[in-house]
Amino acid sequence: MTNKDTIKGAVKEMGGELKEGVGKLTGDKKMQAEGKFDQAAGKAQGAFGKAKDAFKK
């Protein structure tokens, strides 16, 4: 069973990948950095969600 944290983390991670890609295309280093940060935050949130699921079992 997937919980909200796992889903939100995946969405945040994908958004970060998109933001990083746009930053690379436009040469915007700040946007690239924000994208990488969003990806890391999304991975962390997803891992937290998976841990919550594992704990419930």
In the prediction, which pLDDT does 54 show? Answer: 86
In the prediction, which pLDDT does 57 show? Answer: 73
Q: Which residues contact 17 (CB under 8 A, 6 or more apart)?
A: 35, 39
Structure tokens at 34: 């924000």
Each residue's pLDDT, cut to its tens digit, for the chain (57 residues) gives: 678 999 999 999 999 999 999 999 999 999 999 999 999 999 999 999 999 888 887
For residue 49, how far is the Cα from the chain centroid?
12
In the prediction, which pLDDT does 1 show? Answer: 60
